[in-house]
Amino acid sequence: MRYTLIIVALFFGLYTSAQKSVSGRVTKRGGGILAGAKISAKDAPSIFTLSNEHGQYKIDIPEEVSNLIFSYSGMADKTVKIKDFTNINVKLTPAQYKKFRYGFGMSLGTSRFLVFTDGVNNTSDTTKIILTPISLHADFFYRFHKNFELQTVFEDGLNFVKLIDTSAVTNNTILNRFTFSLLINYHIKLDRTGNHSFFAGFGPQYQHLSSLNTNAVGVRFQTGVNINNYGKTTKLFLAVDVSNGKFGSKNIYVPGLPYKYLSSRLGVTFIF
């Protein structure tokens, strides 16, 4: 009986020594921690573990297992060769991941023009033009760093306009405004996963008012919240545009008259 116990003890000792532990962290390419990702031994699917709320995992596998499979819903599976590593950090890619991503959005806000009616820089004699724009825009995004993002915006707005001249006479009309903006956004994580982030950005802007056949160059500033759902993203933002129609000799609101433009809007963009 004593010899039997010794043999059993030796067997379990050899079995234990034939095990190895691998640990690490599972994250999402482009930012974000993956909690609940499955890590399994290749050719031995019954041996697996799940990453915790911090994306961390630890798995004990037999010595003969040379590959681990990392999987998560909505992500492309990734097979990693273990070799002699005991710590393996893995980034999973969304199954439909695109570095150049695109989105569509809608925004609502107010704008104001100040037109100098005497043709010189004299603010005592101006015409105010107040707009309530409903804008549709197409956006393209490129995340070139975990914190930085390049964004282009093509926006077309249907504006309900009030014209108020120096005699306080108000006229209502409709004006179409097209803008193009090139922005750089900086993201700050709001949670450990990085799936929610605060962002702020700015960049140059060109705008054209087709109804009045005029152009302007200025700057767009924006800030907001980025909500990432593993491959699909929603952006809630506040944007402010500042433009000057006196940028060039052809950028004039009315022939011979300069103008300044300020607008703000709230909007939402859905990214695919």
pLDDT digits (tens, 9 = 90+) for 245-272: 654 444 444 555 566 777 888 889 888 7
* Residue ranges matching CATH 2.60.40.1120 in the chain: 18-92
DSSP 8-state secondary structure symbol assigned to residue 86: S
Q: Which range is least confidently modeled, 64-78, 122-136, 233-247?
A: 122-136
H/E run at residue 3: helix 2-17
Phi, psi of 118 (to 5 degrees): -95, 0
pLDDT tens digits, 110-150: 777 766 554 445 444 556 667 777 888 999 988 887 789 99
Where, residue-wise, is CATH 2.40.160.20 in the chain? 100-271
Average pLDDT over the chain, rounded to an integer = 77
Which CATH number is 100-271's, of 2.60.120.10, 3.40.920.10, 2.10.109.10, 2.40.160.20? 2.40.160.20
Q: Using a cut of 0.75, tell me whether the model's pTM lies above it.
A: no
What backbone phi and psi angles, to 5 degrees, belong to 150?
Answer: -100, 130
Q: What token pair was written down for 59?
A: 């798995």
pLDDT over 60 at 167, yes or no? no
Q: Which of 178-187, 190-199, 217-226 is predicted with the least confidence, judged by mean pLDDT? A: 190-199
How far is the C-alpha of 106 from the C-alpha of 196, rounded, in Å? 21
Contacts by 40-47 with C-beta closer than 8 Å and gap 24+? 40/68, 40/69, 40/71, 41/65, 41/67, 41/68, 41/69, 42/66, 42/67, 42/68, 42/69, 42/79, 43/67
Q: What is the mean pLDDT of residues 6-19?
A: 51
Percent above pLDDT 90 for the chain: 26
Class level of CATH domain 18-92: mainly beta
Report the distance separating Cα 216 and Cα 219, nearest Å. Answer: 10
Helix (H) or strand (E) holding 137: strand 126-142
pLDDT for position 270: 87
- Could you tell me the two tokens for 266? 């709230």
Which residue(s) pair with 206 in the sheet?
A: 180, 217
Nearest CA to 63 out of 87, 84, 80 is that of 84
Candidate from 6-10, 104-108, 129-133, 158-162 with smallest mean pLDDT: 6-10
